[in-house]
């Protein structure tokens, strides 16, 4: 694993934001566009707040989402609501550059629509988190959606509410040019320890990823070596 270790989640958020800004500039210079898929949850919030202060040409950034929860628009538990509050409201990004998942339509319909939105593009970067059970995006251990080869998958029976979700599939996530995990807090330590032992939890299925981890999430045995 390509691991970057930080003393705390704040330091991790700042460092990841700087790396995203660098990747954006490189992609825009090379291809004229930076295609970025963002993660939800609380771990990346500090990163997004820092990203809003950085010198990025947002007119050349196309933003997608790694997953979304089937909740009404504007619900505080939706990923796009958190990202809007932390990032979009503070940068000059055209509304048409933000590709929200229409999760309010239900998992199957929204997944089909988002597959058309993606249109087979290759993402430049996917930002990912990891749950305490080792899930990433909304790809949970043992869930049928995690075995799908579809670009976008409808998720039913998620162990965390809401049970219906939409997620980019492993095919799309692994095809991205860069993959960055952000993992913080001691609650993530058991799953990270299982992955380090070689267990193929969903987060471990992401290939060639950079793992940005705060010290609280690092297993005790690894702390002794650092």
pLDDT tens-digit readout, 167-214: 999 999 999 999 999 999 999 999 999 999 999 999 999 999 999 999
pLDDT of residue 219: 87
Percent of the residues in the chain that have a pLDDT greater than 70, as a whole number: 97
Q: pLDDT digits over 39-52, tens only?
A: 998 999 999 999 99
Instruction: Give the pLDDT of residue 224.
Output: 44
Domain boundaries, the chain: 2-223
- Please state the rounded mean pLDDT for residues 120-148: 97
**What is residue 87's predicted lDDT score, i.e. its pLDDT?**
98
Q: How far apart are CA 218 and CA 209, in angstroms?
A: 17
The structure's pTM equals: 0.95
> Residue 37's CB: how many other CB atoms inside 10 A?
24
Average pLDDT (126-131) is 97
The mean predicted confidence, pLDDT, of the chain is: 96
Evaluate if residue 82 carries a pLDDT over 70.
yes
pLDDT score of 1: 82
Q: What is the pLDDT of residue 225?
A: 46
CATH entry 3.30.300.30 includes domain 2-223 = no
pLDDT at 35: 98
- Quick: pLDDT tens for 14-25: 999 999 999 999
Question: Does 37 have pLDDT greater than 50?
Answer: yes
Q: How confident is the model at residue 53 (pLDDT cuts 50, 70, 90)?
A: very high
């Amino acid at each position: 694993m390509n691991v970057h270790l930080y003393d705390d989640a704040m330091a991790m958020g700042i460092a990841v934001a700087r790396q995203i800004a660098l990747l954006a500039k490189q992609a825009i210079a090379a291809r004229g566009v930076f295609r970025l898929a963002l993660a939800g949850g609380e771990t990346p919030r500090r990163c997004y707040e820092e990203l809003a202060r950085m010198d990025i040409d947002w007119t050349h950034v196309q933003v997608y989402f790694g997953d979304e929860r089937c909740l009404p628009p504007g619900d505080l538990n939706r990923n796009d609501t958190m990202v809007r509050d932390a990032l979009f409201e503070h940068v000059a990004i055209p509304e048409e550059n933000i590709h929200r998942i229409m999760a309010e339509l239900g998992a199957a319909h929204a997944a089909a629509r988002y597959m058309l939105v993606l249109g087979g593009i290759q993402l430049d970067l996917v930002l990912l988190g990891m749950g305490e059970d080792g899930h990433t995006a909304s790809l949970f251990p043992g869930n049928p959606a995690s075995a799908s080869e579809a670009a976008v998958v409808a998720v039913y029976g998620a162990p965390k509410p809401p049970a219906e979700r939409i997620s980019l599939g492993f095919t799309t996530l692994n095809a991205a040019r860069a993959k960055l995990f952000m993992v913080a807090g001691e609650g993530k330590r058991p799953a990270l320890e299982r992955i380090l032992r070689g267990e193929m939890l969903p987060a471990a299925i992401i290939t060639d990823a950079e793992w940005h981890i705060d010290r609280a999430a690092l297993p005790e045995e690894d702390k002794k070596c650092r």
